Structure 1
Amino acid sequence: MELKWTDTLDIAIELDEAHPDVDPQYIRFTDLHRWVTELEGFNDDPERSNEKILEAIQMTWIEEKD
């Protein structure tokens, strides 16, 4: 599966599987950005990310955890 920054749900699921012990509520955006770009299947420009996109991914990940 090819992931883009706009695939927030798929990214959140992949992050939860890759980092099951992490509470996404307390993650730094710098770490989140790095983890997203390191996901297998991530194929987007790392520079296209911004705070709004990272926040959307974080909020989706928090919802998936619950």
Structure 2
Amino acid sequence: MRWTDIHDIAIGLDDAHPDADVVNLRFTDLHKWILALPGFSDDPNRSNEKILEAIQAAWIEERG
């Protein structure tokens, strides 16, 4: 997975952290959790606030 695989990341996060408070999640934690996902292999420094916001929004939608 790469940073652009927003939907796949959201699914992986929901599987790995089913009890997380997605709405009030700190981006530092979100970034760390994404890097820990199995199959994630993109450069950790390529993320930014816009990407993390998109992932958070997709994760919220995934839970909906």
RMSD: 0.4
Q: CA deviation at 1:23?
A: 2.1
Q: Does 1:50 align with 2:15?
A: no
What are the equivalent positions in structure 2 for 1:2-21 lying under 5 Å apart? 3-21=1-19
Residue type at the aligned position of 1:6 = T
Aligned to 2:36: 38
Provide TM-score, normalisation by structure 1.
0.95
Which 4+ residue blocks in structure 1 deviate beyond 6 angstroms? Answer: none
What is the total number of aligned residue pairs between the two structures?
A: 64
- 1:29-59 CA-to-partner distances (Å, cap 9, x unmatched) read 0000000001010010000000000000000
Between structures 1 and 2, the one with greater helix share: 1
Provide the identity percentage: 66
Output the CA distance in 2 between the equivalents of 1:34 and 1:60: 17
Gaps of 5+ in 1: none
